[in-house]
Structure 1
Amino acid sequence: MAKKLGLILLIFVGFSCKISQTNKNYTLVPDSIFEFFKYEKSKKTMVSVHRGGGELKSLPENCLESFDYISKKMPCIIECDIEMTKDSVMVLMHDKSLDRTSTGKDLVFNNTFETLKKLKLKDNFGNVTDYKIPTLEKALKWGKNKVIFTLDVKKTTPFKKVIEMVNQQNAQNYAVIITYNANEAIEVYKIDPNLLISVSIMQLSDYERLNEAGIPDNNMVAFIGTREPKPELIDFLHKKGIMCILGVLGNLDKKAAARGDEYYKTFIDQGVDIFATDRPEAVYGIINKL
């Protein structure tokens, strides 16, 4: 992919979206999120940034400044986590507790947003930054014409509230709802059948349950786990037009760091469409060589 400092319009081969690069940031602008995530062999492999970053010092996870940094490096999907405060404000936070990633204490759900506004985020090395805990509303406003979000809805947060916010911000075309089992996927689909859903499909029976529940293939992007994938499962899902996300975060990222980044190419050759990773720049470097 050519890189220039001026404004360039690029078409990511086979994708129904425009990718723009300026000296400020990349932008992903899907014509249709359903077409964007529909499997086609010609489409280029994508990067999903786990927790929106966090591998670098001074750039915390679930932080708008980290999202901005990585979106200037590559076209990407931003995975982020949603917790809810005592006064029902949805914020980006992975843990139930505030202490690991911020200067706060106690559970997110035991604090009001007014309290959270006074806190600062910590990076993953324990360093306090000047960055603040963002709300889901602010993140969705920031992300328009920049990235696609996959929203990991934590147990304290009702899917209904997240979906209401997505619709309020007109973010349906750049926000995907993550689910971890068929019951969650069914719940999301019933609330709003016009949203794309990240569904967990580790084996054929997982797909069959979703299909029997009436969720169309077109509404699914499949998370196929965090271990080396089964090529036969990928082939099956591709025949259904469903793209596959492999979670290389954790074990497989560590293997790539130890063995060399070319290790990621193994999974590209097996048909993985999207890498969910804590090492986005390393993965993108391999994709860009192909």
Structure 2
Amino acid sequence: MYRVLDESNPAIKTGRAPRRSNRGKQSEWRIAALLLFFLPVLLFAQSPHTVSLPNADSLAAYLRWTPDRTPLLSAHRGGPEPGYPENALETFEHSLAYAPCLIECDVRKTADSVLVMMHDETVDRTTTGTGRVEDLTFNEIRSLHLVDNEGVETPYRVPTFAEVLHWAKGRAVLTVDVKWPVAPEEIIRAIRGWEAEGHAVVITYNAESAATYHRLAPELVLSVSVRQLDDITRLREAGVNLGRVIAFVGVGEPEPALYEVLHHLGIRAILGTMGNLDRKAAARGVQVYEGLLERGADILATDTVPLAVQASKQPRRSIRIQVGM
């Protein structure tokens, strides 16, 4: 909650605080001492893990593969949990309490051409309303409440893409899944308009789409689909800059040779664990994720951030990654 300053307060008008009695000063010293004692505990409990990158070059460098790279997590659809619905700002913030996750999110367009965060073609599953996103106005969608994956209504609303780009600055890296019929030009305009090149990765699903984004916005970092070695050849032939990509290798482990080639090119591999691999880890334990990382995965795209974070070798303190200009 934000509080409006009371302009009748003389301290606000003059810039000087009114005089206080000695008794008041003693009370303030006691309060200050208590705050100093409890402040580290409060900060540890409330501080999220954050990543702050100033531009696209810094983002590309952060996501490049190196032999000493730290494994990363991608919170699929933002990392929904009970009480935290998918594609909600509050859920994104909740996921950062576990680790400096990449935040995977989905963009669709309303009937009045507002870009909003929604995975499905309809609002039926994830909100208190019904109807196709493209048939509803933004005001109609904004009036709905989001529901979590158990179908429980929450107080949260559908955010716009602009709100998410603004929220992520200085906090997190987004991986943006663009749903049809949103055009590349619309996504690029929003990212550039919010100066989000340093914290927004655009997901593409084939070499043609990757080439289109690269041609229109060569500064952007892209997530490209690489299921086999031939996909790398297609990206090269399409003119995609392989120095500004991360590679999604699917929802099952690829051949070891694919990891080897990607790493030789300095490209991080994203393995989608949502679905079968997450269920396997839930049944057998965190060692499932540890094995995936040891065999070559660099980023785990997961629906179970709290469990996967135990394998990502992230320190258990609050992480704030900041890269200067």
The answer to whether TM tops 0.5 is: yes
Please show how residues 82-161 of structure 1 align to structure 2 within 5 Å. 82-161=107-186
- Which is worse superposed, 100-109 or 30-39? 30-39
Distance of 1:202 and 1:256 partners within structure 2: 22
Structure 1, unmatched stretches of 5+, are 8-19
Q: Is the 8 A contact 2:252 2:273 kept in 1?
A: yes
Q: Tell me which stretches of 4 or more aligned residues in structure 1 moved more than 6 Å.
A: none
- Mapped pair 1:169 → 2:210: no
Distance of 1:185 and 1:26 partners within structure 2: 30
TM-score by length of 1: 0.91
2:46 partner amino acid: N
Q: Which residue matches 1:27?
A: 50
Q: Which residue matches 1:240?
A: 265
SS in 1 for 2:266: coil
Q: Which residue matches 1:40?
A: 66
Deviations along 1:231-276, one digit per CA (max 9) or x if unpaired, are 1100101001111000011111111111212111111111211000
> What is the CA-CA distance between 1:22 and the residue it aligns to?
7.8
SS in 2 for 1:268: helix
> What is the CA-CA distance between 1:72 and the residue it aligns to?
2.1
Residue 266 of structure 1: which of 284, 291, 294 is its match? 291
SS in 1 for 2:290: helix
Deviations along 1:83-105, one digit per CA (max 9) or x if unpaired, are 10001000000000011000111
Structure with greater helix share of residues: 2
Distance of 1:151 and 1:232 partners within structure 2: 28
User: Which of 1 and 2 has greater Rg?
Assistant: 2
Q: Is the 8 A contact 2:83 2:152 kept in 1?
A: yes
Q: Is the 8 A contact 1:109 1:156 kept in 2?
A: no
- Which is worse superposed, 24-33 or 200-209? 24-33
Q: Is the 8 A contact 1:102 1:121 kept in 2?
A: yes
Distance of 2:136 and 2:237 partners within structure 1: 41
Q: Is the 8 A contact 2:70 2:313 kept in 1?
A: no
> What is the CA-CA distance between 1:214 and the residue it aligns to?
1.2
1:52 partner amino acid: G
1:137 partner amino acid: A
Q: Is the 8 A contact 2:175 2:201 kept in 1?
A: yes
Structure 2, unmatched stretches of 5+, are 1-38, 316-325
Q: Is the 8 A contact 2:98 2:309 kept in 1?
A: no
Residue 282 of structure 1: which of 302, 307, 316 is its match? 307
Deviations along 1:61-116, one digit per CA (max 9) or x if unpaired, are 00000011111221110000001000100000000001100011110000000111
2:72 partner amino acid: M
Quickly say closer, same or farther: Cα 1:84–1:289, change in 2 above 3 A: closer
2:140 partner amino acid: T
> What is the CA-CA distance between 1:289 and the residue it aligns to?
7.4
Instruction: State the percentage of identical aligned residues.
Output: 39
Q: Which residue matches 1:51?
A: 77
Distance of 2:160 and 2:52 partners within structure 1: 22
SS in 1 for 2:289: helix
SS in 1 for 2:224: strand
Q: Is the 8 A contact 1:261 1:286 kept in 2?
A: yes
Structure with greater strand share of residues: 1
> What is the CA-CA distance between 1:206 and the residue it aligns to?
0.5
- Mapped pair 1:203 → 2:210: no
TM-score by length of 2: 0.81
1:251 partner amino acid: N
Q: Is the 8 A contact 2:206 2:224 kept in 1?
A: yes
Q: Is the 8 A contact 1:121 1:130 kept in 2?
A: yes
Distance of 2:275 and 2:285 partners within structure 1: 15
2:68 partner amino acid: S
Q: Which residue matches 1:16?
A: none
SS in 2 for 1:288: coil
